[in-house]
Amino acid sequence: MVVSGFCRSPPMMISGGRVFVFPCIQQIQRISLNTMTLNVKSDKVYTRHGVPISVTGIAQMKIQGQNKQMLAAACQMFMGKSEAEIAQIALETLEGHQRAIIAHLTVEEIYKDRKKFSEQVFKVASSDLVNMGISVVSYTLKDVHDDQDYLHSLGKARTAQVQKDARIGEALNKRDAVIREAHALQEKVSAQYMNEIQMAKAQRDFELKKAAYDIEVNTKKAESEMAYQLQVAKTKQRIEEEKMQVQVVERTQQITLQKQEITRWQKRLKPSSSTRREPWWTCCWRNCLW
């Protein structure tokens, strides 16, 4: 609400709330602060390469009641106008900026990068409408089309490119699959060979160690047998020596007994004085025990 007249110079602007007005000497006027939705349509605008296209965008805007400067500018611009008239002015302004931006871009840039196009329209329109006290809340590109089937041809070319890329990708995937399968088979065979080599090495090491163990065992066994035989021989030798000693002792005892017997017989056969003495060899022959 804007109150002007007696004692209201400059006019008082009230964004929401109540105010007392003196009839006849004061005047009250209203301006809408509602959000306005605009369908911004630009038909057959030539792009940078001369291709005519039609663009439709959706914009949300409103008069800022919280900013006193923008509210004052809006009151100066739109006081006494209806909301539809304000929306039409904003729409024409926004459409002009939209056409100007379309003329500086190509169809591919607009169609492929809609976000960039929307940001450019939003930025340019906001800087212009803010001077009118209007704030652009949002802008979104809704539709892009043409009557020359340019976008359709572009889509067909893109579709053909995508299909081509898909076929190439499929062929590359098959090739990679075959290569991976071959590598896997090669690794499998290599692993099998390596396993066999390791098994052969293990078998060889086992045989070598077994042979070494057998040699050591046979050596120990031979040494043991030789030691046993040597011990048996030593034992036999000791037994023979003991037997010889026993024989020597027995022979010595026999000789001793013989000597004793000879002595005894000599004593018995010793002649007396009255007995005739015989020759010495006669006595020896008679007393001989051989």
End-to-end CA distance of the chain: 179
CB 108 within 8 A of CB 154: yes
Q: Are 53 and 146 in contact (CB under 8 A)?
A: yes
The confidence band for 101, taking pLDDT boundaries of 50, 70 and 90, is confident
pLDDT tier, 21 (very low <50, low <70, confident <90, very high otherwise): low
Say which residues have a Cβ less than 8 Å from residue 124's Cβ, sequence separation at least 6: 97, 100, 101
**CA 38 – CA 60 distance, rounded (Å):** 6
* CB atoms inside a 10 Å sphere around CB 26: 17
Q: Whole-number mean pLDDT of the chain? A: 78
Q: State the number of CA atoms in the 13 A half-sphere of 83 facing the CB.
A: 11
pLDDT digits (tens, 9 = 90+) for 265-281: 888 776 554 445 555 55
Task: Please give the pLDDT value at position 155.
Answer: 60
* 47 vs 23, residue with greater confidence: 47
> 143 near 55, Cβ under 8 Å?
yes
Nearest to 91 by CA among 126, 133, 41, 55: 41
Element (H, E) at 28: strand 26-29
Residue at token pair 């209007």:
134
**Residues 112, 218: Cα–Cα separation, whole Å:** 90
pLDDT at res. 5: 47
Write the class of the CATH domain 33-147: alpha beta
**Which residue reads 């081509």 in tokens?**
164
Give the global pTM: 0.47
Q: What is the mean pLDDT of residues 192-221?
A: 87
**Residues 139-149, mean pLDDT to the nearest whole number:** 81
Model pLDDT, residue 281: 54
Q: For residue 189, which amino acid is it?
A: V
Q: Computed over its alpha carbons, how large is the radius of gyration of the chain?
A: 69
Render pLDDT for 249-263 as a digit per residue (tens, 0 to 9): 888 888 888 888 888
pLDDT value at position 3?
45
